[in-house]
Amino acid sequence: MQGLAMKAILVTKHGGPEVLSYTDVPTPQPGPTEALVKIDATGVNFIDIYFRTGLYKADPPFILGQEGAGVVEEVGSEVTSVKPGDRVAYTGIRGTYAEHHAVAADKLVKIPDGVDTKLAAALMLQGMTVHYLTHSTYALKSGDTCLIHAAAGGVGLLAVQIAKMRGATVIGTCSTEEKAANVRAAGADHVILYTKEDFVARVEEITGGKGIDVAYDGVGQTTWEGSLNCLKPRGMLVCFGNASGPVPPIDPLRLAAGGSLFLTRPTLNHYVATREELEWRATDLLNWVRDGKLDVRIGEEYPLAEAGQAQIDLASRKTSGKLVLIP
Ligand code: NDP
């Protein structure tokens, strides 16, 4: 493959979607511990926008994208865990907005028969995020009540379903009636249109004044304060994203005044730090999809060349479910 060109989306400088360049770059060659994956589907995620704008640090030029699935075409001399022809999915290595990617073989997870490659791509970043949020950061249990913001989003629709599997009462927020229908279909017990209603007052009403055990907040700037105000004493705010902008610094005394609250700002890498943890989360998710227990809603598919449009749609709150790019 070396020497041949492939198509990829390059970030040549930080900025708006216009800085994305669909261009020819050399097809990578796998190193001794890597596999060359022909990518069939790559997930679009908010983190791609953060890297494009420079909110998260990476020096241009670089190929965007953190989540992919496809077929192994070639393996390095030391790789025994996968072989050419295997269908695989992965996350955590930038460069998936491309036709091929040389990936550390120990990051790859084999896709079981009966699971579509596109769905597997969708599960690796958003699905594993929901897995660690609901199983590890705050391990939900029967009797808990959780708040999930942007519940109609890629992370959100998975979070609602998985929180229900854990036995929790789920309150989801979203911006429109159309999205609310998707959140209800995913199994949420209550849906709040936070663009029209005061979500703190509604949570108080729903919980009879008790408050919630945990708020999963990927919206950030516009919701974090309300999320804190929804918690019961010793509840936890899991601030895991910045879809509306970053959260400002928080005074620890604010946590004391709110009822000895917990605040955490987790990120996926630290929750798939070992191969064992990666396999636990990925296997659960892939098996749930294969067995019909988890529905992955693909909101929209775009050709790779239209990555900019996909990011515009994601950032403009138009979308529900997962967006994928097809190289
Ligand atoms: P979504 O599909 O959820 O899209 C973001 C949603 O956020 C929008 O659809 C919108 O839903 C809501 N939103 C509210 N205010 C705004 C705003 N001002 N601008 C844009 N969107 C807004 O995206 P993802 O599923 O990809 O990601 C959700 C969040 O999870 C992101 O913040 C992301 O960074 C975070 N994340 C964090 C990870 C981690 O490990 N820490 C890993 C993966 C994702 P509505 O219209 O209903 O308000």
Same domain, 62 and 93: yes
For residue 3, pLDDT over 90 is answered with no
B/e letters for 158-197, b = 16+ CB within 10 Å, e = fewer, are bbbbbbbeeebbbbbbbbeeebbebbbebbbebbbebeee
Cβ 219 under 6 angstroms from ligand 1: yes
Asked if residue 130 is part of any domain, the answer here is no
Model pLDDT for residues 91-111, shown as the tens digit of each residue: 999 999 999 999 999 999 999
Q: What is the pLDDT of residues 127-180, one digit of tens each?
A: 999 999 999 999 999 999 999 999 999 999 999 999 999 999 999 999 999 999
In-domain check, residue 134: no
Q: Are residues 44 and 115 in the same domain?
A: yes
pLDDT in tens, 275-289: 999 999 999 999 999
Task: Name residue 43's beta-bridge partners.
Answer: 324
98 lines ligand 1 (CB under 6 A): no
- Domain harbouring 162, CATH code: 3.40.50.720
- Cα of 3 from ligand 1 centre, angstroms: 38
Predicted TM-score (pTM) of this structure? 0.96
- Start-end of H helices in 186-306: 199-206, 224-230, 252-257, 275-290
- Checking 79-84 for CB contacts under 8 A at 24+ apart, the result is 79/30, 79/32, 79/33, 79/34, 79/35, 79/105, 81/105, 81/106, 81/108, 82/35, 82/108, 82/110
- Residue 309: CB atoms within 10 A of its CB come to 15
Give 210-238 pLDDT, tens digit per residue: 999 999 999 999 999 999 999 999 999 99
Q: What total of structural domains would you count in the chain?
A: 2
Task: Say yes or no: 104 and 147 in one domain.
Answer: no
Ligand 1 atom closest to the CA of 151, numbered from 1: 47
**Residue-number span of the structural domain to which 297 is assigned:** 5-124+272-326
Same domain, 249 and 179: yes
Residue 133 lies inside a defined structural domain of this protein: no
Same domain flag for 236 and 279: no
Instruction: Give 4's pLDDT tier (boundaries 50, 70, 90).
Output: confident
- Pair 280, 258 in one domain: no
CATH code, 53: 3.90.180.10
Q: Is the pLDDT assigned to residue 2 strictly greater than 90? A: no
Atom of ligand 1 at shortest range from CA of 47: 34
Indicate if ligand 1 lies below 6 Å from the C-beta of 281: no
Residue 11 lies in a domain: yes
State which of 226, 249, 265 marks the end of a domain. 265
Tell me, yes or no, whether 129 lies in a domain.
no
Q: Domain check: are 109 and 191 in the same one?
A: no
- Whether the pLDDT of residue 297 is over 70: the answer is yes
Mean pLDDT (whole number) for 262-284: 97
- Please indicate whether residue 240, judged by its CB atom, sits closer than 6 Å to ligand 1: yes
